[in-house]
């Protein structure tokens, strides 16, 4: 009896030790590095296709979910997984490292250059992704060092929504908003009439930077100098809104959904927000919602950052060609040719292809005012490529400090100079 138990115990110990060795291995160099070989044309689609997107709010059974799953090639099924943008990107990083990346990922466009430069993505050519006919400004974030890595799923943009009832009561004609001065005059009238001014999202991080960029670029600033007088004037504009009580102080912590919810209370005259709310704005029953483009400081349209995701194929280490064939089939089904129109409508985006966009606009009048904004939009990564996220972080720091300053010009200037120097 004693012999058996000792032997069994020894066996368990040995197995445990073996497990330990294996675990130690998987942390080290035991993982195959992703190769750069393989092409969609040399592979065949497989029975199981994995698909990642950053839309956790679009649940199983939603229109989007059905659209994606209907794109499975004959004999395949698509498994769809969703996570918020940054988390999705981090999960993708780990997955490529471990050699079990999904077949298709929809990646937020400003993250795409970082992903490509970090060796996470197969080229569009390898993965058989067709990018012909896509607008240059929208395709921009997908091109790194002259190589294309993916295709935009469509585009969204920012504009100023307004509460028509409030503007009418305050005697403000939205068409009069041509530059920052006329915008400020309009907000002032709205506030004087007893309503609140404007909501926007100033939350720390990329989301806040995204909302700040139309003002930043609209003032004539660029990323090469965060402490330029133009950059500071953009910070001053928003800081003054908070200081004068025109914008809620919670803008400091509000994300875009929270700031939209504030606008929907019907207390605010204006809201800076995205085209993804265009349908909700048109359907709003409590008050009439209108929209004007964001003006530049001295007139004209401010360039807004292009929003939306890229469909990309992660780099694969095993059976790469088959995975790329999966990616080619699914991405083509989603955005290839005329399919793009349906996908854009489902996502609430405008197509990145001007011809399809024209068709989309002619069948849905909602989009008409957005066309010029999209055409004039600027890629966030066009100037800096993979270095964008770091600069965006500094811009966000500057904006946070500027909003905290609540109008204090000296503090706003320090905010931008500190961020530029850090």
Partner 1 sequence: MTNAAGALVAEATTTGEAVPPRPRRSRARWAAVAFVAPLLVYLVVFYAFPLVQNVAMSVQRYDRGTFVSGGAPFVGLDIYREVIGQPKFWRIVGQTATFTLVSITFQYVIGLALAVFFHRSFKLSATLRAMFLVPWLLPVIVSATTWQWMMNPDNGAMNTLVGWFGIEPVWWLNAQHSLMSVTIANIWLGIPFNLVILYSGLQNIPTTLYEAAAIDGAGPWRRFWSITMPLLRPVTLVTLLLGLVYTIKVVDIIWIMTTGTGTSQTLATWSYGMAFGKGTSGVIQYSEASAVGSILLVIALAFGLIYVAVQRHEEG
The angle subtended at Cα 197 by Cα 195 and Cα 203, nearest 5°, is 135
- Between strands 309-312 and 289-292, the pairing is unpaired
Nearer to partner 1 by Cβ, of 164 and 249: the residue is 249
147 binds partner 1 (CB under 8 A): no
Task: Choose between 353 and 400: whose C-beta lies nearer to partner 1.
Answer: 400
Element (H, E) at 17: helix 2-27
Residue 25 within binding range of partner 1, rule CB under 8 A: yes
If one asks whether residue 33 binds partner 1 (CB under 8 A), the answer comes out as yes
Interacting residue with partner 1 among 158, 199, 389, 416 (CB under 8 A): 389
Cβ distance to partner 1 smaller for residue 95 or 301 = 95
Using CB under 8 A as the binding rule, whether residue 17 contacts partner 1 is answered as yes
Residue 70 within binding range of partner 1, rule CB under 8 A: no
Among 60-68, 140-148, 201-209, 322-330, the segment contacting partner 1 (CB under 8 A): 201-209
Asked if 7 interacts with partner 1 (CB under 8 A), we say yes
Q: Which of 39, 46, 76, 97 binds partner 1 (CB under 8 A)?
A: 97
For partner 1, the closer of residues 31 and 280 by Cβ is: 31
User: Residue 58: which of 130, 153, 159 has the closest Cα?
Assistant: 153
Place of tokens 């806040």: 208
CA separation for the pair 24, 366 (Å, rounded):
57
By the rule CB under 8 A, 32 interacts with partner 1: no
* Residue from 195, 343, 360, 396 binding partner 1 (CB under 8 A): 396
- Among 377, 350, 331, which Cα is nearest to 131's? 331
How many CB atoms neighbour CB 62 within 10 A? 13
Among 57, 62, 90, 368, binds partner 1 (CB under 8 A): 90
Stretch that binds partner 1, among 5-13, 64-72, 142-150, 318-326 (CB under 8 A): 5-13
**DSSP per-residue codes, 42-101:** G----SEEEEEES-TTS-TTSHHHHHHHTTPPTT-EEEEEE--HHHHHHHHHHHHHHT--
Tokens of 222: 């660029």
* Matching residue, tokens 């698509």: 78
N-to-C CA span, the chain: 71
86 part of the interface to partner 1, by CB under 8 A: yes
Binding-residue total with partner 1 (CB under 8 A): 60
> Residue 16 or 410: which CB sits closer to partner 1?
16
* Nearest-approach distance from CB 118 to partner 1, in angstroms: 4
Quickly tell me which residue has 């048109």 as its tokens.
Answer: 282
Determine the Cα–Cα distance for residues 353 and 348; give it in Å rounded to an integer.
Answer: 15
Place of tokens 């209108």: 290
Specify the residue, 27 or 75, whose C-beta has the smaller distance to partner 1.
27
Pick one of 233, 304, 394, 416: the residue that binds partner 1 (CB under 8 A): 394
Only segment of 163-171, 250-258, 285-293, 352-360 that touches partner 1 (CB under 8 A): 250-258
Among 53, 65, 206, 322, binds partner 1 (CB under 8 A): 206
**Is residue 114 near partner 1 by the rule CB under 8 A?**
yes
| Under rule CB under 8 A, residue 224 binds partner 1 | no
Residue 234, helix vs strand vs coil = helix
268 phi and psi angles, rounded to 5 deg: -105, 145
Q: Rank residues 65 and 114 by Cβ distance to partner 1 and give the closer one.
A: 114
Binds partner 1 (CB under 8 A): choice among 49, 71, 107, 120 = 120
User: CA distances (Å), 43 to each of 118, 195, 322, 332, in order?
Assistant: 25, 61, 4, 15
For tokens 């990329």, the residue is 206
Dihedral, CA atoms, 279, 335, 58, 47, nearest 10 degrees?
160
H or E stretch at 372: helix 371-375
* Contacts with partner 1, residue ranges (CB under 8 A): 2-3, 5-7, 9-25, 27, 29-30, 33-34, 86-87, 89-90, 93, 96-97, 114-115, 117-120, 203-206, 248-250, 252-253, 389-394, 396-397, 400-401, 404
């Amino acid at each position: 009896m004693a012999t058996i138990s000792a032997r069994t115990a020894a066996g368990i110990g040995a197995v445990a030790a073996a497990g330990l060795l294996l675990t130690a291995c998987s942390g080290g160099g035991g993982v195959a590095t992703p190769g750069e070989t393989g092409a969609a044309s040399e592979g065949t689609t497989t029975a199981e296709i994995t698909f990642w997107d950053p839309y956790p709010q679009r649940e199983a059974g939603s229109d989007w979910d059905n659209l994606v799953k209907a794109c499975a090639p004959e004999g395949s099924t698509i498994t769809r997984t969703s996570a918020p943008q940054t988390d999705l990107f981090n999960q993708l990083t780990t997955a490529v490292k471990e050699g079990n990346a999904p077949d298709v990922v929809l990646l937020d466009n400003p993250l795409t250059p970082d992903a490509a430069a970090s060796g996470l993505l197969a080229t569009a050519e390898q993965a058989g992704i067709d990018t012909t006919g896509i607008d240059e400004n929208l395709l921009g974030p997908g091109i790194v060092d002259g190589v294309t890595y993916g295709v935009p799923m469509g585009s969204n943009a920012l504009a100023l929504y307004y509460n028509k009832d409030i503007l009418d009561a305050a005697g403000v004609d939205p068409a009069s908003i041509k530059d920052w001065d006329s915008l400020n005059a309009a907000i002032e009238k709205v506030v004087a009439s007893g309503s609140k001014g404007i909501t926007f999202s100033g939350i720390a991080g990329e989301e806040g930077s995204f909302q700040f960029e139309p003002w930043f670029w609209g003032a004539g600033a660029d990323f090469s100098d965060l402490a330029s007088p133009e950059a500071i004037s953009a910070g001053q504009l928003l800081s003054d809104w908070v200081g004068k009580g025109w914008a809620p102080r919670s803008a400091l912590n509000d994300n875009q959904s929270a700031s939209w919810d504030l606008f929907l209370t019907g207390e605010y005259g204006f809201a800076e927000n995205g085209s993804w709310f265009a349908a909700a704005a048109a359907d709003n029953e409590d008050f009439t919602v209108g929209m004007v483009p964001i003006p530049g400081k001295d007139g004209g349209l401010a360039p807004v950052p292009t929003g939306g995701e890229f469909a990309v194929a992660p780099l694969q280490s095993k059976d790469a060609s088959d995975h790329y064939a999966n990616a080619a089939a699914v991405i083509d089904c989603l955005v290839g040719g005329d399919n793009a129109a349906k996908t854009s409508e489902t996502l609430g985006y405008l197509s990145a292809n001007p011809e399809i966009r024209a068709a989309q606009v002619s069948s849905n009048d909602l989009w008409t005012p957005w066309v010029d904004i999209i055409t004039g939009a600027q890629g966030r990564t066009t100037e800096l490529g993979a270095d964008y996220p770091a600069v965006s972080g500094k811009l966000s720091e500057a904006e946070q400090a500027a909003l905290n300053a609540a109008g204090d010009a000296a503090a706003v200037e320090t905010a931008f100079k500190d961020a530029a120097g850090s």
